Amino acid sequence: MSPALIPNYELAGKQVVIIDVLRATSSICVAFETGVDKILPVSTPEECMLFKDFDFLCAAERNAIKLTGFDMGNSPFEFKHPLLKGKSIAFTTTNGTKAIKMSRSAGAEQIIIGSLLNVDAVVSYLISQHNDIVLVCSGWKDKVNLEDTLCAGAIASALNDHVETNCDATLMAMHLFKGMETNLEFYIRQSSHALRFKALHQAEDDVAFCSKLNTVNVLPVMQGEYIRNIQLNKPA
Amino acid sequence: MSPALIPNYELAGKQVVIIDVLRATSSICVAFETGVDKILPVSTPEECMLFKDFDFLCAAERNAIKLTGFDMGNSPFEFKHPLLKGKSIAFTTTNGTKAIKMSRSAGAEQIIIGSLLNVDAVVSYLISQHNDIVLVCSGWKDKVNLEDTLCAGAIASALNDHVETNCDATLMAMHLFKGMETNLEFYIRQSSHALRFKALHQAEDDVAFCSKLNTVNVLPVMQGEYIRNIQLNKPA
């Protein structure tokens, strides 16, 4: 439910799904639907900007705001532009890239990018792999958040006939998803992060967009330093 | 939702409710209903045993099991014995005493002991105090657990007309409680800790006992090093 809880779980050798619904992993899914070639998650805006010299587009967000001088921030709509097709992007965000880096350090066998937008693609792949699974919610500065927990609940619920869980956080996420699945946007608009967007007059359309289930058929995974889409039937 | 998340919250100057439904805070509530004078939470079994020389009864549990040589473990039924009336108890448990110590270190203004058994007493007192409130779930070895989250949801739901929350964990706890309140024992029996008891053939009656709302009218709070019952209409 938070990157701060990662040390309590064994990630080594397991498939780890990183979830940051508002908005990093949603935007990564959209980028690959657009046809982006690869995404490099980096820790800091300074590191991100260095890749400009190597023909990367650079995307950076902190505290829900796009940073000045970067090509993109963290809105999924910015990643829809057709000119992004075939490009490489260096990307740093408040919470999502931290969760990816921590999971790599903890020895995850494979890191998969999950959002509400690509639940079906993630679940089908996980079922085919027959490995142990950890769902990592990126949260907000180590606090638990609603939208990532709901996404974990959506994935866990779809996996429920295929795997066992011994984790109360998973039980709770599944129960929350069951109670809220018919109106995800309504509930996610009550989350602290959606209220933060509202106070900043930022990203309010993003909340609706990121709350929709299975609108994008991509499967972004880490391969070496990069995130790439390994979905077989990816868009032409 | 876990002691590991305490560093993300400001506790200084606030009223902090410590929750460890299975079983430390439930047992503390029962002890005060029995008429225990005071309880000293200590970190280690070794430290706990030292107080034997100072006319304390000593209670110690680790990993759901009562430790050898101690007067009591961590079952609420052990704290019902009439001979406990007026006594002092030194008490160490796997998770509950850790949450108390961390909250003190973080500068909590007042530490209140909450369980499902005394929700009404805790809520009435908090409403009367008009202070900011943090609900701390003791969890299991820093993992999130269901039963403490449900208790936090019960308290937050009862406070909901009197306070505002800006925390998604609270929203989630309230939603979980709303979905499960008519059958708390049923859901808590599915929790990882209840399953741990079952595997150990331990404490299965405790789960039913600790899942009942408002069976005990006590208000244990920290005063200096001790927990004492400050409920005005406490048992004679």
Asked if A197 and A203 touch (Cβ cutoff 8 Å), the reply is yes
Asked if B99 and B151 touch (Cβ cutoff 8 Å), the reply is no
The more confidently predicted of residues A72 and B234 is A72
- Residue A156 maps to which CATH number? 3.90.1560.10
Give SS3 for A135. strand
Asked if B1 and A176 come within 8 Å (Cβ–Cβ), the reply is no
Q: Which domain holds residue A191?
A: 3-229
C-alpha to C-alpha distance for B200 and B198, rounded to whole angstroms = 5
C-alpha to C-alpha distance for A151 and A24, rounded to whole angstroms = 13
Asked if B1 and A166 come within 8 Å (Cβ–Cβ), the reply is no
Looking at residue B120, its pLDDT comes to 97
The amino acid sitting at B35 is G
Distance from CA of A82 to the nearest CA of B (A): 36
Read off the tokens for A162.
Answer: 């295929």
pLDDT beyond 90 at A64: no
A207 touches chain B (CB under 8 A): no
Task: Find all residues with CB under 8 Å of B161, minimum gap 6, and list them.
Answer: none
Query: How many domains are there within chain B?
Result: 1
Asked if B195 and A166 come within 8 Å (Cβ–Cβ), the reply is yes
Give SS3 for A57. strand
Element of type H or E holding B121: helix B119-129
Looking at residue A63, its pLDDT comes to 86
Give SS3 for B15. strand
Task: Find all residues with CB under 8 Å of A10, minimum gap 6, and list them.
Answer: none
Q: Which of A125, A113, A110 is nearest to A79 (CA)?
A: A113
Asked if A153 and A173 touch (Cβ cutoff 8 Å), the reply is yes
Q: Which of A57, A59, A119 is nearest to A86 (CA)?
A: A57
Element of type H or E holding B236: none
C-alpha to C-alpha distance for A186 and A191, rounded to whole angstroms = 9
Looking at residue B204, its pLDDT comes to 85
Q: Is residue B234 part of a domain?
A: no
Please list, residue by residue across A129-166, b when 16 or more beta carbons sit within 10 angstroms of its beta carbon and e when fewer do.
eeeebbbbbbbbebbbbbbbbbbbbbbbbbbeeeeebe
Beta-strand ranges (E) seen in chain A are: 15-19, 38-41, 56-62, 65-66, 88-92, 110-114, 133-137, 220-223, 226-229
Strands of B133-137's sheet in order across: B65-66, B56-62, B88-92, B38-41, B226-229, B220-223, B110-114, B15-19, B133-137
- Nearest residue of chain A to residue B189 (CA atoms): A168
Q: Is residue B194 part of a domain?
A: yes
ipTM confidence? 0.93
Helix A146-159 to helix A192-200 angle, to the nearest 10 degrees?
A: 140
Looking at residue A87, its pLDDT comes to 97
Asked if B143 and A167 come within 8 Å (Cβ–Cβ), the reply is yes
What is the full DSSP assignment across A68-112? TT-SB-S-GGGGG-GGGTT-EEEEE-SSHHHHHHHHHHTTBSEEE
Average pLDDT over residues A167-183: 97
Mean pLDDT (chain A) is 94
Taking 70 as the pLDDT cut, the residues of chain B under it are 232-236
Asked if A61 and A193 touch (Cβ cutoff 8 Å), the reply is no
Q: Is residue B113 part of a domain?
A: yes
| Minimal Cβ distance to A191: which of B9, B168, B180 | B168
Asked if B135 and B10 touch (Cβ cutoff 8 Å), the reply is no
| Minimal Cβ distance to B144: which of A1, A175, A193 | A1
Average pLDDT over residues A116-127: 98
Q: Is residue B218 part of a domain?
A: yes
How many interchain CB pairs under 8 A, A with B?
82
- Nearest residue of chain A to residue B166 (CA atoms): A192
Beta bridge partners of B71: none
The amino acid sitting at B205 is D
A125-151 per-position pLDDT tens digit: 999 999 999 999 999 999 999 999 999
Looking at residue A236, its pLDDT comes to 45
Asked if B172 and A4 come within 8 Å (Cβ–Cβ), the reply is no
